[in-house]
Structure 1
Amino acid sequence: MPPPQTVPLLPCADIDEIEPFFAAMGFRTTFRQHRPYACLALHGHGFDLQYYGLDGHVPEASHSSCLVIVDDTGPIWDELAAGLRQAYGRLPVAGFPRITRPRPRKNADGVTGFSLVDPAGNWIRFFHRGRGAPAPAAELSRLGEAVQNAVVLADSKGDEAQALKVLQGALRRAPADDPALEDARELLAELEERQVER
């Protein structure tokens, strides 16, 4: 007997906008209809998603989300990012749609994850199966803690502006030999790019 399976049902204003977005990342349509109601079923990378039409749905007001647990976030991120670069000519990191980079998540016990935000504003959150290996909080510098907090704010909550403030303040106070300096500068550059593209 096969194990139980769940399939996320996510809202969108227009399935015709969702279908090509996922096709660019290697998903195939397994079912599609407009009547009596709009419905789109997709399969790719070993999992299923379904979308339903919701009149008046806007990405900015979306609160829908789902988790996708994978053995390794690196390869799937590479595949999704390559499809997005091909479709958009660049990696979309701000607005709708967008994708974040895989990073350990403080709010997920250090498990590495990234988020794919679709054109309808739904957050599809990918997490590495099992536990990550972050440095224990006592071993992190203040800048290291600020990086972790900024990742939660930007990549989990979508508050890039606050993440940027947290990181800029911590960088101003960080010593020149702080071990988190490279990670902080990399995240800062990405957050600044997100702000420009908004």
Structure 2
Amino acid sequence: MANELTIPLLPCPSIDEITSFYEMLGFEVTYRQTRPNPHVAVRREDINLHFFGMDDYDPAQSYSTCLVIVEDTGELFEAFAAGMRSVHGKLLISGIPRMTRPRLRNDRYTGFTVVDPGGNWIRIHKAAQEPEARTKLAKAVENAARLADAKGDERQALRILEGALARTDGSEPELRDAQAYRDELVERITGSGSRPGA
């Protein structure tokens, strides 16, 4: 068989709130029903996401997630960020909803994460690429991103990043990005917070 299509169906407390959030990111509604079961489908180019409403659903306790593989994470991030800034005046980096910035996740992917109002983690990754040599600071940023952005453990990520920054000689090309990420982690920890795990 060929040309199969898989679309995640993710939970949320309100399809209205989910719809507004994804429209802010440039998605369009392709299907919507309120009865007998709340259900909404959104699409942005080839990215399709479907959501179902659940009474008494707690987004902070969500373990729902999906991967979206794209050619250019930077372009998509900038489009999402522009939508967020137009509605909220800033990039939401703490609490629910929020979005992380694109970072090296491992030797093969770069990406960012959108945590929507339903607490669903939409993980945007770049298609496979050849690994390249990295500095110790780059590896620390990767480890911190894995802990904070993929698992929700901002405090341990901050410890790793601060340790690596304390050992830097200042010549690493990713120094400014690492410092900016440290500042973002501090804001996420002291802001409205995020659920542990995921």
Task: Give TM-score, length-normalised by structure 2.
Answer: 0.89
Deviation at 1:73, TM superposition (A): 0.8
SS of the residue 2:186 aligns to: helix
Deviation at 1:174, TM superposition (A): 3.2
Other-structure match for 1:35: 35
Q: RMSD in angstroms over aligned alpha carbons?
A: 1.9
Distance change >3 Å, CA 9–CA 155, structure 1 → 2? same
Q: Greater CA deviation, 43-52 or 179-188?
A: 179-188
Distance change >3 Å, CA 32–CA 83, structure 1 → 2? same
Structure 1, unmatched stretches of 5+, are: none
Is 1:135 matched with 2:133?
yes
Question: 2:150 and 2:129 mapped to 1: Cα distance?
Answer: 17
SS of the residue 1:20 aligns to: helix
SS of the residue 1:101 aligns to: coil
Other-structure match for 1:164: 158
Other-structure match for 1:196: 190
Task: Give TM-score, length-normalised by structure 1.
Answer: 0.89
**Is the 1:13–1:57 Cα contact (8 Å) retained in structure 2?**
yes
Question: 1:104 and 1:187 mapped to 2: Cα distance?
Answer: 12
Other-structure match for 1:73: 73
Question: 1:170 and 1:129 mapped to 2: Cα distance?
Answer: 28
Structure 2, unmatched stretches of 5+, are: 193-198
Q: Greater CA deviation, 15-24 or 174-183?
A: 174-183
Percent identity between matched residues is 46
Other-structure match for 2:196: none
Other-structure match for 2:167: 173
**Is the 1:104–1:132 Cα contact (8 Å) retained in structure 2?**
no
Alignment deviations for residues 140-175 of structure 1 (CA, whole Å, 9 cap, x no partner): 32x333222111111111211211122122322333
> How many residue pairs are counted as aligned between the two chains?
192
**Is the 2:158–2:182 Cα contact (8 Å) retained in structure 1?**
yes
